[in-house]
Structure formats: structure tokens, C-alpha cells
Amino acid sequence: MSQIRFDDRVAIVTGAGAGLGRSHALGLASRGAKLVINDVGTSLDGAAESTDAAQAVVEEITASGGDAMAHGADVTNVDQVQDMVAQTMERWGRVDILINNAGILRDKSFAKMALGDFRKVIDVHLMGSVNCTLAVWNIMREQGYGRVVFTTSSSGLYGNFGQSNYAAAKAAMMGLMNVLHLEGAKADIRVNTLAPTAATRMTEELLPPEMLAIMGPETITPGVLYLVSQDAPSRCILAAGAGCFARTIVYETPGICIADDQLTPETVAARFGEISAPQGQEALTQALEQTVRFVKRAAAERGITLPES
């Protein structure tokens, strides 16, 4: 297998001043990419600002012979994000890779959470990813190439007590990926999502040292580099941690079709085991597939002939 390289590719990594973002940026730079190190320099909850961390990563890259620049755009600020992309284009003339990694935490149980904290986390994770992706989208379309990674979380995919805001934002990454995969396909824009678990500021107080010791960000970055490579997949949710990798796929069971005279909530309750049975489940690739599947099955049950599509 040939080595995955990023020579002549330009990548923007948000939240790259520390943790996963820093690891992803260093990994890309080590394989030839030119880097924009974006970090507003906030604390874990989004307070305080300094670009020192981003500049330190730039200095690491340039000391190793790489090419990088720092930018302190707040990903929730559209004007700052557009300025970051404009400076990238002025310096290198293209943007090939965007890794949406920036994030904050403001954990609290749902009943005790202030709406402002809910909105802020949604704004950084979801709207921050939207702002950055939209800023590079037409550039990628016009150049006929792009690789975008969103960052989700097991909290978003499976739930975690006290993280309703974070989980809601992270679950949204899957829907955003699914649509942009479809809309970007003709321009060879491949869109994927990373579900990482690593030793970072977000986990260092939650896990014992023995676990953290084998969960460094560098154990995840190889998966990200594949997701943004020339031969990357698209619409993939890659779970990663401690050098382990798995793929998360949403399946839909075959289910049942209930005849008109039995179409009651009591029938749904009585047959819920059949509805939930996983045998024959499949992954759907577009929303309309579910609609067509349901309508065809219902028509067959009722003896209705549908027009050929």
C-alpha cells in the first residue's frame, strides 16, 4: 500500500492549539500538508482568549520544516471565519481539507442547565462547524476537490448523563454529514465524521490515569488522516480511541406493515417485538429510501399497483 501523503494540500484544523486538533494538525504537517492552526485559545468552557497555543503549534510545524499559519477566529463568528479562509486563500490559493474539531463543555443535568449554556455549546459545536464548512464549501466545489471531517461523540450517538447540550450538538453532526455527502459528491467533496475518545482536557478528570495513559490523541489521528486522504470514504462515522477503530452505522429494521382495520396503537404495542427484530436490517442511504420502502410495502399489502418510477 502506498503511503498516504498530503503534499500540496492545504488544511484548516479548528481547535488545533491542543489535544486532538493539535495532534491532527501535526499528523497532516508531517505528511506534507500546509496548515492553518485555528484556535481562539479558550478554557474548556469557552472563557478567556489567547492565540498563544495556536502559534506554539505553528512553531512546532515550522521547526520541522513544514508550512503553517495561526488564526484566532472564533468559529461562532462568521466574519472571523471568513477572514481566516480569505487569509488562507491569499497565502496558498486553495483549501483542500477542513477538520471541524473546536469545542467546549458546559455540563450540567438538563433540569439545572441554563438555556444560555445550552445555546453556547450548540453554537460552538454545531454552528461553528456550519460556519467553517460553509466558508470553504464553494472553494472546494470550484476546485473539484474537498475533504471535510466533523467531530461527533459517543455522547451524541448514545447519550451521557449531564451532557444534553453537548450530545444534541454532536448528534447533529451525523445529519449534517449525511446531507453534505450527497450535495458534495459531484465535486469530489467527501464528508465524514469522527467519534473520538481520547485523553484530552475534556476527559482528564473523568477517567483514571491508567486509562488516560493509553488514550493519547495520537492514537486517533491516523484514522482522521485516512478520512481526509485522496482515497477517503464518504459518509463514514469512524469511532476511534487508544488505537482501536470501529465504524458506527445506523440501521433500520425490516419492521411490519399493519392492515387498515388493525392500525391502532394497541397493535403497535402488541407487535413491537416484531417491529424491533433486527433480522434483515439494513443501512439506508437517503431519506426517500425509507418513504419508498414503506409505500411499496403498504401498497403490496393492500393490493395496490403503483406506477413504475
In terms of Cα–Cα distance, which of 190, 192, 199 is closest to 220? Answer: 199
Q: Which helix (H) or strand (E) holds 244?
A: strand 244-248
Whole-number Å distance between alpha carbons of 100 and 292? 34
Q: Which helix (H) or strand (E) holds 148?
A: strand 146-151
Are 12 and 136 contacting, i.e. CB atoms less than 8 angstroms apart?
yes
51-78 burial, b at 16+ Cβ within 10 Å, e below that, comes to: bebbbebbebbeeeebebbbbbbbbbeb
Q: Which of 145, 158, 166, 251 is catalytic?
A: 166
The rounded Cα 232 to chain-centroid distance in angstroms is 15
CA distances from 183 to 68, 82, 90, 189, 230 (A): 30, 21, 27, 9, 18
The rounded Cα 147 to chain-centroid distance in angstroms is 12
The number of residues in the chain equals 309
Whole-number Å distance between alpha carbons of 72 and 51? 6
Q: What is the DSSP string of 11-58?
A: EEEETTTSHHHHHHHHHHHHTT-EEEEE-----TTS----SHHHHHHH
Q: Could you tell me where the DSSP H helices lie in the chain? A: 19-30, 52-63, 78-92, 115-122, 128-143, 154-158, 164-184, 209-212, 221-227, 265-270, 272-276, 287-302
- Would residue 158 show up in a list of annotated catalytic residues for this protein? no
Q: Which domains does the chain have, with CATH numbers?
A: 10-248 (3.40.50.720), 260-302 (no CATH)
Are 192 and 144 contacting, i.e. CB atoms less than 8 angstroms apart?
no
Global pTM value: 0.93
Q: Each residue's pLDDT tens digit in the chain (309 positions)?
A: 899 999 999 999 999 999 999 999 999 999 999 999 999 985 665 565 666 999 999 999 999 999 999 999 999 999 999 999 999 999 999 999 999 999 999 999 999 999 999 999 999 999 999 999 999 999 999 999 999 999 999 999 999 899 999 999 999 999 999 999 999 999 999 999 999 987 655 566 666 677 777 888 999 999 999 999 999 999 999 999 989 999 999 999 999 999 889 999 999 999 999 999 999 999 998 888 888 888 888 888 888 898 886
Whole-number Å distance between alpha carbons of 244 and 80? 36
Whole-number Å distance between alpha carbons of 128 and 104? 11
